Amino acid sequence: MPTSPWFLLDGVTVNGELAWPVGWVTTLTSMPVPRQVSETKKVVLQEHLLVVGLAPAPASSATSSAHTFNEEMKPSSNALLITFSVQRQGEGDASWKLAPVDRLSFPEQISAVSPFLSHLAVAWGGHLALYARTSRGWQPLTQTSRPLPHPIVALATNEDTRRLFVADLREGVYLFKYYPQDNRLAVVAEDTQRRWIHRLQVLDADTVVAADKFGTIFVLRLPLESSAAIEDDPSRGHLADRYFGHPQLSRPFVARFTTECVFHAGSVATSLHVFGAKNENTDSRGQKQPLDHGPEGILYSTVNGAFGALVPFRSYSEWEMLKRLESEMDMYWAKQGTCAHPSRGLHQWNLLHSSVVRFYGGIEPKRHVVSGQLCGLFALLDAETQESIAGRVLGLQEPIAASEARRAVALLLVALGRLHARAMLCY
């Protein structure tokens, strides 16, 4: 999975010796690959590989200080893809070692690598390529026929449908599909608007969650009819790949993502992690078995050190109830002054008396997201205010009986407690 750039001042060392030149680690991933030990006995073992993308620095920087190196760092014409074999050498604390087994060179920076169908997907510059593991190392399998308009910054895969989701620097998300019959990668879907995407993760075969450089987190989904058309395409992506890049001609052949959820996190998200996205697993006999229903959600962290979680609603009625509660709490917050706000003791004052809902739509309109933090303030209100808000949320007719008001408050508190418990399972 893509990581933040790491600076290797002393280069990559193996057993204390310099293996490769100094540079920046732009991405890395680990993957198991089958390794045939004996051709006669046909013994196949799993070999674990660590694949590292490295942007090397000038040779003169190897002996310079970190400060000097940062000043002299320039885009390199050759990026390296280094493969290490993870080997066990005995018991104890230092029982594992990394042995370099392969190295590939690329003319542009390697931005993302990911395992894909026992192959390796590599994104370098605006290109996307697949490499197959052989006895002689990584061998090129296929590559996109044309590069994307801008360099690729994120890559995520779905092996069940042989789909690869990529995000370039400025244009948004693209969907590539691998056709093994033709050994070809074809672009079959694209985004409807420009986005400066920073992170990307797959939720299912048609859905991805991404974060841009303006602090917005959003979910994109491929419509069901478009997804079915891609799988049943008789041209196997030839028409989509041929007319890609021509807006007027590609519309009948290249599908478009739709925006399902959008909200502004407040600062740039540095990482995304998905929980419970898959509902089945493949056992040793090759049969798919359902997984236990574990925590579901999206955990994200921001550049200022904050953590957050996005938890899906289990029912539409739960969504409608908490959506109305968010609206009521937003209006209550906007009407109250700073000193009268119930969160005064928590040092979370609304200094500008502004709308929290409007803040979550600061970059683009908020869509299909309810603020759990804002709804959670309902528990801090006094009993009379709680009963008044609960009655309006549940649509009770006035005058409201005391027993019905207490029952409405209890219902909202139970719903908030369940939602909070599901969010805590993601941490």
Flag whether 12 is in a domain. Answer: yes
CATH number at residue 156: 2.130.10.10
User: Predicted confidence band at 82 (pLDDT cuts at 50, 70, 90)?
Assistant: confident
**Please, which residues have CB within 8 angstroms of residue 172's CB and are 6 or more apart in sequence?**
190, 191, 192, 193, 194, 195, 197, 257
In this structure, the answer to whether residues 294 and 333 fall within a common structural domain is: no
| Residue 195 pLDDT greater than 60, yes or no | yes
How open is the CA angle 272-276-280, to the nearest 5 degrees?
135
In this structure, the answer to whether residues 97 and 150 fall within a common structural domain is: no
End-to-end C-alpha distance for the chain, whole angstroms: 20
| Residue 11 pLDDT greater than 60, yes or no | no
> How much is the average pLDDT of 111-120?
90
Flag whether 265 is in a domain. Answer: yes
pLDDT at 164: 94
In this structure, the answer to whether residues 62 and 185 fall within a common structural domain is: no
Flag whether 121 is in a domain. Answer: no
The pTM assigned to this predicted structure is 0.78
pLDDT at 283: 46
> How much is the average pLDDT of 363-390?
87
The domain tally of the chain equals 3
> How much is the average pLDDT of 1-23?
48
- Other beta carbons within 10 angstroms of residue 54's beta carbon come to 27
Per-residue DSSP letters for 103-115?
A: EEEESS-EEEEEE
Domain boundary among the residues 108, 128, 154 is at: 108
285-327 pLDDT tens trace: 444 544 444 568 899 999 988 888 898 888 888 899 999 999 8
**Residue 138 · residue 83 · CB < 8 Å:** yes
3-state helix, strand, coil in the chain (%, to 5): 25, 40, 35
User: Predicted confidence band at 250 (pLDDT cuts at 50, 70, 90)?
Assistant: low
400-426 pLDDT tens trace: 888 888 999 999 999 898 888 888 876
Q: Which three-class secondary structure state does DSSP give residue 66?
A: helix
Flag whether 57 is in a domain. Answer: yes
Flag whether 127 is in a domain. Answer: no
In this structure, the answer to whether residues 151 and 175 fall within a common structural domain is: yes
User: Predicted confidence band at 68 (pLDDT cuts at 50, 70, 90)?
Assistant: very low
Flag whether 165 is in a domain. Answer: yes
29-40 pLDDT tens trace: 888 877 655 555
Name the residue with tokens 């408050």: 409
What is the average pLDDT score of the chain? 77
Flag whether 256 is in a domain. Answer: yes
pLDDT at 292: 46
pLDDT at 24: 78
Please say whether the dihedral angle defined by the alpha carbons of residues 68, 70, 75 and 76, taken in this order, is positive or negative: positive
- Other beta carbons within 10 angstroms of residue 318's beta carbon come to 14
39-48 pLDDT tens trace: 555 545 667 8
**Residue 96 · residue 88 · CB < 8 Å:** yes
pLDDT at 340: 46
> How much is the average pLDDT of 208-227?
92
In this structure, the answer to whether residues 306 and 332 fall within a common structural domain is: no
In this structure, the answer to whether residues 303 and 180 fall within a common structural domain is: yes
In this structure, the answer to whether residues 337 and 301 fall within a common structural domain is: no
Lowest-confidence region among 107-121, 200-214, 240-254, 385-399: 240-254
Per-residue DSSP letters for 254-306?
A: SEE-EEEEEEE-SS-EEEEEEES---EEE-TTS-EEEPP----EEEEEETTS-
CA atoms of 279 and 296, how far apart (whole Å): 10
Lowest-confidence region among 171-175, 182-186, 290-294: 290-294
Flag whether 119 is in a domain. Answer: no
In this structure, the answer to whether residues 303 and 345 fall within a common structural domain is: no
CA 307 vs. chain centroid, Å, equals 15
The parent domain of residue 61 ranges over 1-108
pLDDT at 376: 87
| Residue 156 pLDDT greater than 90, yes or no | yes
| Residue 67 pLDDT greater than 80, yes or no | no
| Residue 151 pLDDT greater than 80, yes or no | yes
Q: What percent of the chain has pLDDT over 90?
A: 24
In this structure, the answer to whether residues 321 and 305 fall within a common structural domain is: no
In this structure, the answer to whether residues 88 and 53 fall within a common structural domain is: yes
| Residue 261 pLDDT greater than 80, yes or no | yes
Helix (H) or strand (E) holding 371: none
In this structure, the answer to whether residues 360 and 226 fall within a common structural domain is: no
Q: Check residues 23 and 120 and name the one with the higher pLDDT.
A: 120
In this structure, the answer to whether residues 320 and 248 fall within a common structural domain is: no
Q: What percent of the chain has pLDDT over 70?
A: 72
